[in-house]
Structures are given as structure tokens and as C-alpha cells.
Amino acid sequence: MSATTLHTEAGASDETRATGKSAGRRFATLVVRLGAIAAFAAIMAYFVVFAPGFTSTFNLINVVEQSAILGVLAYGMTSVIIGGGSDVTEGGIDLSIAANMGLCAAVYATLLSMGCGDFLSVLAAIAVGMAVGALNALAVVGLGILPLLATLAVLNVAAGMELTLTQNTVVGASSPLLAFLVSGSFLGISALAWALIVFSAIIIAIIHGTAFGLRLYAVGGHPEAARAAGLSVPFYVSFTYVLSGFCAAVASVLTVSRLSASTPGSGELLLSVLAAALLGTVFSRRFVPTMGGTLLSVLFIGLLANGFQLLNVSSYWVNGVQGALILLVVAITSFARGSEGSR
């Protein structure tokens, strides 16, 4: 019986071609990543040379402090993107995270001003943040609503509740914890900066060191494969939304400490959070969102604002440069993907 179907005869030429192709692809990807990182580095180098005091320890710690809130929020967003997949319209996204932080801050500051202790107030803020996260999880996982839409609706609920609670006013707050966060320091590094460092260490360990984190990537990268491997996809996705709510609550404590109050308008942070989480992918070898990459892009955004400030450039440029960078990074990425897309 003769063979009736042509399978390729796998000659040596085919082998080398296949590996050659993937090597070429890896090279292109590398060039893209290095190019984007080089652009970041060039901007930093410019600041180092021309911005007075940019590299001073004081200034750098200041930047880390300023980045703490954005960083913690961006971790929440990153976890949602990891677990839900990075397809921006269908995949994981938490548009409610900044509004959630605003709500938590309002709850925290209001309870403090009513005379509740730090412990109770922090606990309440965390409970509220996680409850909002759970609501997102219910909508996305339980009811199957597109994350973009579900979290959009929850954004409105959270923002409205914040406004109702504070009547759109500044709620001043002071407590031992807040005092410590503002003025405490250890090894010459302020408590606020430590907060970011410790939180980063914990979240990087969980997402990148444990089997749980590994499985989370599988759930987001290929849900079918995760299911076939016996993982409960709904559980992991739900977890990311609740974690995102938790991050919002932690960030709320930090923001109240920085401003000694809860203030309206926290929703404006959303775009920066999104930008940080998305930009972070260029720092990853696999072009996936990572906590380390997110931290780097948060610091980068912080340094960008700081450098402009030191150079007396209007801070109004920051948004624009951030936007242009997103476009640059994504355009180069899609260019590299396009050249490999012939497969």
C-alpha cells in the first residue's frame, strides 16, 4: 500500500529552516525589546546629564515614594491582565481600580475622622476594596460579562459611592499609622518607599515564584490549556479581581497618608495605571505583563514626571510623552510581530 498523504519529508534542510526561523524571530523580538528599553534609557540619560539633582539619593527616594500609589495599583491591574489574557478588548482589565481606591480612601478617612482606630479603619478599607473586587469577579466570572463592561459599570458605582460618602469634599485624616507612613524611616528610606518595596517583593514572589503564579499565567495565556490541565479557571480569574481590589485598598491607605486626606478625583489615575501595566510588557522576555516590568514602567513614569519637573518643563507634557511612548512601544512590537507572522 502506498502512502496517500504527503507528510513532509523532514530533511536536514527543514530542521535548520525551522530553528533558523525561530532564531530569527527571537532576534527580532530581542531588537524590539532592546530598542524600547534603549529609548527609556536614553530619556533617563538625558535627565541624568541635564536635570539638576536628578540622581541625588533624596530625589530618587522621593520618586519611589511618589510611585508607591501608582505601583500598588498597577500590580492589581497587572494581575488582572495576567489572569484574564492580554487581549485588550476581550481579555482581563479592571477599569474600576482607581475609583475603587478613591472609595476605599474615603471610607478610611471618614472612619478615622469619626474616631475609629487605625486597625478598624484599615480593615474596613480593605473589606470595601475586596468587596468591590468580588463584585467585578462575580460580574466577569459568574455572569460572563465582558471585563471591559463589567468593570466600567462597577467604576461608576464605586465613584458614585465615594462622592456620596464625601459629598465631593476633602476629608482630612490623621492617625498613628498615617504619621508613621509619612515621617517614619528605616535605613534612610522612608516608610512610604518601604511600603512599595515590601509590597513589590511579596507580589513578585507570589506571581513569579509560586506554582500559583505559574498557573495564573496559564489561565490567562490559554484558558483551554489550563482547563485541560485540571485548573479551575474561574477561581484564578476571580482571584485576580479580588487581588486588584485589595491593591486598591492598600493604595488608598498610601494616598491618604501622602495627602493627609482623602480627596476627590482619584479616577484620573486610571489611565496611568493602565499605561504602566501595558508598558511593562516590553521589559519581559516573553512579551507578557510581569510584576517586575510593571514596577520598572511605574518608576519610569515617576522619573519622567520628576525629570520634567527638575528641568522646569511643564508637567502637561508628561501625559503626552507617556501616550507617545505607548504608541511607540506598541508600534514597534506589532512591527516585530508582523515580521514573524508569516508562520
Partner 1 sequence: MQTAKREIAVSMSNISKRFGPVRALENANLEIVRGSILGLVGQNGAGKSTIIKVLAGIIKPDSGTIVINGETVTALSPASVEKLGVHFIHQDRLLVPTATVGEAVFLGHEIGFGPFVSRRAMERRAADLLQRFFGLELPVGTLVKDLTTAQQKVVQITRALAQKASVLVLDEPTAALVKREVDSLFDVLRRLRDDGIAVVFISHYMQEIEKLCDRVTVMRNGTDVGTVDPRETSVEEIISMMIARDVGEMFPKRSVTLGAPVLEVANLRLGGGFENIGFNVRAGEIVGLTGLLGSGAKEIVQCLFGLKTADGGLIKVEGRELSLSTPVKAVRDGIAMLPEDRRAHGVALGLSVRENISLASLRRYSKSGLVSRGSENQAVDGLIKELSIKTPHRDALVRELSGGNQQKVAIAKWLSCQSRVYVLDEPTVAVDVGAKVEIYNLLNRLAGEGAAILLLSSDLLELVGVCDRVLVVYRGRLAGTFSGPSMNSDALLAASSGARPDADGVAA
Partner 2 sequence: MSVSANSPKPSLRAFLAKYSVLIAFAAIVIFFALTSPTFLTPANLFNVLVNNVVMLAIVALGLTIVISSGGIDLSVGVSVDMASMVFVMLLAAGYSGVVGVGGGLGAALVVGILNAILITRLNISPFLATLGVLFIGQSTQQLATSGGQPIYLTSGYASDQFNAIARTALFGVPTPVIVLIVLSIAVHVLLHRSVFGRYVQAMGAQPGVAWYSGIRVPRELSMVHVLCALLAGVTGILLSATVKSYVPLSGNAFLLDAIGATFIGTTLSRERKPSVVGTLLGVLLLAIVKNGLLLVGWNFYWQQVGIGLLVFLVLAVSFGLRRATH
What is the 8-class DSSP label of residue 88? T
Q: CB-hemisphere CA count at 13 Å for 111? A: 19
The stretch among 2-10, 151-159, 201-209, 285-293 that binds partner 2 (CB under 8 A) is 151-159
Site for partner 1 in 273-332 (CB under 8 A): 286-288
Question: Would you count residue 88 as binding partner 1 (CB under 8 A)?
Answer: no
Amino acid at 241: Y
CB of 209 to partner 2, least distance (A): 29
DSSP 279-299: HGGGGSTTSS--HHHHHHHHH
Q: Which residues pair with 261 in a beta bridge?
A: 172
Read off the amino acid at residue 285.
Answer: R
Of residues 206, 50, 56, 173, the one with CA closest to residue 104:
173
Smaller CB separation from partner 1, 21 or 168: 21
Nearest Cα residue to 67 out of 336, 334, 304: 304
Binding footprint of partner 2, residue count (CB under 8 A): 46
CB of 309 to partner 1, least distance (A): 37
What's the min distance (Å) between Cβ of 73 and partner 2?
16
Question: What is the C-alpha separation between 289 and 76, in angstroms, rounded?
Answer: 12
Instruction: Name the binder of 142 from partner 2, partner 1, none, CB < 5-8 A by kind.
Output: partner 2
* 144 is a site residue for partner 2 (CB under 8 A): yes
Determine, following the binding rule CB under 8 A, whether residue 233 of this chain makes contact with partner 1. no
Residue 312 binds partner 2, judged by CB under 8 A: no
Which listed range, 9-17, 62-70, 251-259, 325-333, lies at the site for partner 1 (CB under 8 A)? 9-17
CA distance 151 to 96: 5
The DSSP code sequence of 111-168 is HHHTT--HHHHHHHHHHHHHHHHHHHHIIIIIS---HHHHHHHHHHHHHHHHHHHHTT
The residue (of 22 and 183) whose beta carbon lies closer to partner 1 is: 22
Q: How far is the CB of 333 from partner 1 (least distance, A)?
A: 14
Determine which residue in the list 27, 212, 235, 335 makes contact with partner 1, applying CB under 8 A.
Answer: 212
Tell the smallest beta-carbon distance from residue 234 to partner 2 (Å): 12
Binding window for partner 1 (CB under 8 A); candidates: 3-11, 91-99, 105-113, 181-189: 3-11
The string of DSSP codes covering 180-195 is HHHH-EETTEEHHHHH
Residue 159 binds to partner 2 (criterion: CB under 8 A) = yes
Determine, following the binding rule CB under 8 A, whether residue 331 of this chain makes contact with partner 2.
yes
- Alpha carbons 247 and 72: distance in angstroms, whole number: 6
Instruction: Name the binder of 20 from partner 2, partner 1, none, CB < 5-8 A by kind.
Output: none
- Our finding on whether 26 is near partner 1 (CB under 8 A) is yes
Asked if 27 is part of the footprint of partner 1 (rule: CB under 8 A), the reply reads no
Q: How far apart are CA 154 and CA 72, in angstroms?
A: 20
Q: What is the dihedral of CA 330, 200, 133, 264, to 10 degrees?
A: -80
Provide φ and ψ at 55, rounded to 5°. Answer: -90, 0
Among 210, 319, 334, 339, binds partner 1 (CB under 8 A): 210
Binding interface with partner 1 (CB under 8 A): 1-10, 14, 17-18, 22, 25-26, 205, 209-212, 214-215, 217-218, 221-222, 224-231, 286-288
Binding interface with partner 2 (CB under 8 A): 88-89, 139, 142-146, 148-150, 152-161, 163-164, 167-168, 271, 274-275, 278, 314, 316-324, 326-327, 330-331, 334-335, 338
